[in-house]
Amino acid sequence: DTAVSQTPKYLVTQMGNDKSIKCEQNLGHDTMYWYKQDSKKFLKIMFSYNNKELIINETVPNRFSPKSPDKAHLNLHINSLELGDSAVYFCASRKGTDTQYFGPGTRLTVL
Amino acid sequence: GESVGLHLPTLSVQEGDNSIINCAYSNSASDYFIWYKQESGKGPQFIIDIRSNMDKRQGQRVTVLLNKTVKHLSLQIAATQPGDSAVYFCAESRGYGNKLVFGAGTILRVKS
């Protein structure tokens, strides 16, 4: 299937832990994004990479570090997790000036 | 359901009726607008888009209208079906990297 995929779908962890979320797209897109959706369904961009280069970095705590090993992957590593990090994290990708296509989301719960 | 506790605007329509979901955007420099549908437990799904040089675009059962004068966007869904029940988001695109800025979302409930 051609798609944007994320792993894991659910992630439950304790405060203070470090965790990673992975994203892969096989659509041949050159730009990838991470968005955060809070409990009120508000979606906000966090990061964007174009051809492995960081092009958007919103005001996100530096505990969050994106990593793009190649054009098809954009991973999100989070250090020292806090309660407020609980949210659904979406990866998206885009080719050129086309629209963005979203992955299924990763629901992160910090206890 | 998942919408319990959410304080988003809600539109309830009867199956078969037309639905109109409205959105106000903030940046007059935005030049690309998209409507997304998000079903429970899923990611936002692209419905239709429009560029700022147009004021109307039609898809299958959906129409997007853009009024740049008042910075308003609407999504019209014809003959609404139960499968259309979801949260609908408008998004505007601005700046390098085509960063999407999302609106707050509207819950659409279709009654059979």
Which of helix, strand or coil describes residue A84?
helix
Whether A56 sits inside 8 A of B99 (CB atoms) is: yes
Disruptive mutation site among A102, A106, A107 for chain B (greatest number of B CBs within 10 Å): A102
Q: What is the pLDDT of residue B2?
A: 43
What is the distance in angstroms between the CA of the first residue and the CA of the last residue of chain A?
34
Spatial neighbors of B5 by CB under 8 A, at least 6 apart, are none
Q: Between residues A51 and B81, which one has the greater pLDDT?
A: B81
Q: What is the pLDDT of residue B96?
A: 60
**Cα A48 to Cα A92: distance, rounded to the nearest angstrom:** 9
Chain B residue with the nearest C-alpha to that of A10: B41
With an 8 Å Cβ cutoff, is B51 touching chain A? Answer: no
Q: What is the pLDDT of residue B95?
A: 67
Share of chain B above pLDDT 90, in %: 80
Residue pLDDT, tens place only, A6-18: 999 999 999 999 9
Q: How confident is the model at residue A52 (pLDDT cuts 50, 70, 90)?
A: confident
Residue pLDDT, tens place only, B24-71: 998 888 999 999 999 999 999 999 999 999 999 999 999 999 999 999
Cα B48 to chain centroid distance, Å, stands at 9
The whole-number average pLDDT for the span A79-83 is 97
